Amino acid sequence: MQRIGNKVSYIRKPLAKYSLVSAGLTAVSFLFCGMAIGIACHAQGDAPLYAAALGFCSILTAGSAAAYGIFSFFEKEKNYLLAKICLGCSGTLMFCWLVMILIS
């Protein structure tokens, strides 16, 4: 609830537009990640080249989702909850990819 003088406004703030884009990109990034790991597991660790391409696409879309999540904080008078969630998820996914690349 937002207070305006002695009145209370019950109008909810809309979600930031860029946070919706960030949510879509985060979902696509997790899809690419799942496909790449699934292909690598199915091939018993000897993954073909398109599994690496899916992993790279996952990294790129997670980075784009993080960028859109940061851009959504510049919108005025919006709800930033979805942007915070997407920023955390995409950052975690990029960190996991970094760890997987350093281990292998």
3 state DSSP class of 7: strand
Q: Are 25 and 65 in contact (CB under 8 A)?
A: yes
Task: Pick the closest to residue 64 from 99, 93, 37, 38 (CA basis).
Answer: 93
Q: What is the pLDDT of residue 62?
A: 97
- pTM reported for the whole predicted model: 0.85
Q: Given CA atoms 32, 35, 40, 41 in this order, what sign does their dihedral have? A: positive
Residues in a beta bridge with 4: 7
> b/e per residue, 38-49, with b = 16+ CB within 10 A?
ebbeeeeeebee
Q: What is the pLDDT of residue 4?
A: 63
Q: What is the pLDDT of residue 84?
A: 96
Residue ranges of the chain with pLDDT lower than 70?
1-4, 8-10
